[in-house]
Amino acid sequence: SAVISQKPSRDICQRGTSLTIQCQVDSQVTMMFWYRQQPGQSLTLIATANQGSEATYESGFVIDKFPISRPNLTFSTLTVSNMSPEDSSIYLCSVVMPNYGYTFGSGTRLTVV
C-alpha cells in the first residue's frame, strides 16, 4: 500500500489567514482526495485532485475557499483560505491503490482562533 506524508501535523492560525497543507505519496497515483473531519464527526470529502486538471469539488465546497494544486502524480496541496473558527477540523489526504483500498495520511489538525 502507499505511504502518505502529510504536513503540517497541526497548526493554530489566526482568523482571516490561509494555511497550505501538503501531501506527499511514495508512489504515483492518479487520484488524490482531500477530506475534512470536524470534531466528533466522520469524514467528509472536500474534493478530488487529478494531475493535469482542475480539482472536482463536492457540494458545499468551493475552489476560492479550498484551492488545490496537483503538480505531479505524487504530490498535492490543499489551502484553507480566509479561515474562520468554523474551519477548525482535521484535514486528511487520501489515495486509492488497486487491491489495497484507500490509504489516509495522518492528518492536519487545524485550530483557528
Instruction: Check binding of 102 to another protein (CB under 8 A).
Output: yes
- How far is the C-alpha of 10 from the C-alpha of 112, rounded, in Å? 11
- How far is the C-alpha of 52 from the C-alpha of 68, rounded, in Å? 12
> Cβ closer to another protein: 92 or 112?
92
| Consecutive H or E run containing 8 | none
- How far is the C-alpha of 30 from the C-alpha of 20, rounded, in Å? 21
Part of the chain binding another protein (CB under 8 A), chosen from 13-21, 61-69, 71-79, 89-97: 89-97
Instruction: Check binding of 61 to another protein (CB under 8 A).
Output: no
Instruction: Check binding of 22 to another protein (CB under 8 A).
Output: no
Enter the C-alpha cell of residue 55: 480539482
- How far is the C-alpha of 105 from the C-alpha of 113, rounded, in Å? 24
Part of the chain binding another protein (CB under 8 A), chosen from 21-29, 66-74, 77-85, 90-98: 90-98
Q: Is 96 helix (H, G, I), strand (E, B) or coil?
A: strand
> Cβ closer to another protein: 13 or 90?
90
- Binding residues (CB under 8 A) for another protein: these are 1, 6, 31, 33, 41-43, 45, 48, 56, 90, 92, 94, 96, 99-107, 109
